[in-house]
Each structure stands twice: as structure tokens, then as C-alpha cells.
Amino acid sequence: MMSIVEFLFNPWVRGTLGLALIGLIFFSAVITVWLERKFGADIQSRIGPNRVGGRFGLLQLIADAIKLFTKEDLIPAKADKLLFVMAPIVILGSAFMMIVAIPFGAIVIGDKSYPIAATEFDISVLYLEAVSALSVLGIFMAAYGSNNKYSMLAAFRNIARMIGYEVPLGISIIGIAVMVQSLNIVEIAMAQSPLWFIFVQPIGFAVFFISILADMGRLPFDQNEAEEELVAGWGTEYTGMRWGLGLFAEYIHMILGSCLMVLLYLGGWNLPKFITGIFILGAFAPIFWFIAKVVVVVMTIIMIRWALPRFRIDQVVDLGWKVLFPLSILNLIWAVALGLFFGA
């Protein structure tokens, strides 16, 4: 039994697993793109991609990727070249820095569970909050660098939205931190062993869900890319793989945001003892359970995209400051009251 633990903590094994995980994240972003096209088509009674790779268009993704890689790489003549080139890297970097702190399930051996995370530190939730806010800088760099009015408008809207929604997002996370008395995301996930926090703090979950949708820039909050008004938002002047990096970042951000939602509110990887007690199941069942929940959240987000119309930017800012912010304060009071009542 001990040797397995030692094997898992071998730096070479961990390094290889980490590389595989990064590959998997990219691959899951690709799958999400496919899911968005096919599943979205189903919702709207269309057929969706069906030419490349059989009835389900499975090879469409590869065709898309080849298209992105082989397109001409254009940099506008009047662009600020340094900012223009660096911007997609900053956007993708912000999404990738989040991977460090997120545990993707756990391996349960006996009574102990070993989370599959690169690091485990005491303030990982704060870290996630901090680095996910960096992407707004990348979007600003892209917009200013490409010297285009549509892009600048998109950056304006993006920053106005981010300022409005980071606050309720943070406060709803504080509600959880108060309840668990920790900012360590592994401890928060483990604390939901019998009771998920969505049942304890339903208001907090609603605020968190809406805020993280806005944070990810998903419809109904994608005013910064509104195709009908702003061409393609910050990506108007981008072509080929530079644009593709931004697209990847968007989808990776969406997947990681869903992971965060599962970890904070939907119970993480916790399974009852009689399942994880069996050795083989303990090694695999928590991971599958975690991934299944993430898939459900991702599909919900996609369904919301294809079902709802886009808000106007003033409505979005109003919603953030006038509705979500007071609600998140209310949730914080609720969490503190519960903690005082039950003695936490």
C-alpha cells in the first residue's frame, strides 16, 4: 500500500502526469468546441457539423485546427506590434496559471485521499481569483495593440464588466471560506463530504454561477465579442493561430471555471465511504465522479448560451452592482449566521 503512495509522489511520475494533464486540458477544450457546435445545433434543431468524420462530424475539430494553423498570420501595419503579439500569450497564460492550483479529482486509498493537483497551498482560492483576473489585461493589450475601434469598445466593455463581477464573485467565495474556515481549495472540497454547499448557500451559488459566467465571457455576458455589433470584439484584427490561442484560452477558462464551481459548490470528488473503500474504485471512481459533474456543468453553460439572448452592456453592469452585489452580501451574512449558530 505504501509503495503506491511513494510511486505517486515520485517527481518523475508527477511530472509526466502533469504534462499529460496539460495535454488533456487542451484536448478537452477541443472537445468542448465540438460539443458546443453539435450540442448547440441539437438545441436549435439544426444538424451542425456532419461532413467531416461521419455523421457526428468528429473530425471537424481537426479540420478547424488545420485551418487555423495554415491561415496567413497578419499583423496590421499601424498596430503596436509588441502588445499585439504578447496579448494572446497573456490571455492563455492567465488560463494556464489557474491549472496549478486546481485539483482534478483525487485518489482515495484507505482513509486518506491524495488530490491530483500540482500544488496544495493554503490560499489557493485567492490565487485562482487573482490569476483569473489577469486575462482582462491581455484583452486590453490585444484591443489597444490592434489599433481598432471595435477592439477598443470590446475592451471598454470587458473592463467595465470585470470590475462589476469580480466583486460579487469574491464575496460569494468569502461566504464559503467563512464556513470552512480555510482558503485551501482541497479542504473546501473535502468539507462537503455529506452536504454540498449548493444546499447550504443557494444564494451564494446563484451569485457565483452568474458571476463566473460573466467572468468567462460566456453568453449572455459576451458583450465584448458581440458579433452583431463589434465584428469579433478584441479579436477583430487577429488571424490564424493567434486568434486560435485566444479561443483556446476562452474554452480552457470555461472548463476550469466549471471545475471551480464543482469544487466549491457541487461537492468536489467526494463519494460515500462504501464505494471508495474498495481499492480499485477508490483509485478511479472519485475522478470519474468529478469529471462527470464538470461535464454536466459545461453542458449547462453551453445550453444557456444557445437558449438566452445577449444583454446590453448597461443591463449587465446594472445586474452586477444592483442585484448580485447586495445578494452576495446577503449570502455572506447568511454564512456567518450559520457559522455562529452551529458554532462552526
Partner 1 sequence: MVGVVELITFALISMLTIGFSILVVTARDIVRAALSLVATLVSVAGIYVLLNAQFIGIVQVLVYVGGIGVLILFAVMLTTQELKGDSDVE
Provide the binding-site residues for partner 1, judged by CB under 8 A. 78, 80, 83, 121-123, 126-127, 129-131, 133-134, 136-137, 140-141, 144, 147-149, 152, 155-156, 159-160, 162-163, 166
Q: Are strands 106-109 and 112-115 parallel, antiparallel or unpaired?
A: antiparallel
What Å distances lie between residue 94 and 199, 225, 249, 270, CA to CA? 31, 19, 8, 28
- Name the β-bridge partners of 113: 108
224: nearest Cα among 313, 291, 284: 313
Q: Would you say 127 or 197 has its CB closer to partner 1?
A: 127
Q: Shortest approach of partner 1 to residue 266 CB, angstroms?
A: 25
Q: Shortest approach of partner 1 to residue 83 CB, angstroms?
A: 7
Residue 157: how many CA atoms within 13 Å on its side-chain side?
A: 24
Q: Would you say 140 or 251 has its CB closer to partner 1?
A: 140
Q: Shortest approach of partner 1 to residue 147 CB, angstroms?
A: 6
Alpha-carbon span 2 to 259, nearest angstrom: 29
- Grid cell in block for residue 268: 468536489
Residue type, 165: Y
- Grid cell in block for residue 312: 446590453
Neighbours of 51 (CB within 10 A): 11
The helix/strand/coil state of 197 is: helix
Q: Shortest approach of partner 1 to residue 89 CB, angstroms?
A: 13
Q: Shortest approach of partner 1 to residue 214 CB, angstroms?
A: 15
Q: Shortest approach of partner 1 to residue 274 CB, angstroms?
A: 38
Which residues 6+ apart lie within 8 Å of 24 measured at CB? none
Q: Shortest approach of partner 1 to residue 257 CB, angstroms?
A: 16
Alpha-carbon span 324 to 84, nearest angstrom: 34
Q: Would you say 28 or 328 has its CB closer to partner 1?
A: 328
Alpha-carbon span 280 to 271, nearest angstrom: 14
- Name the β-bridge partners of 114: 107
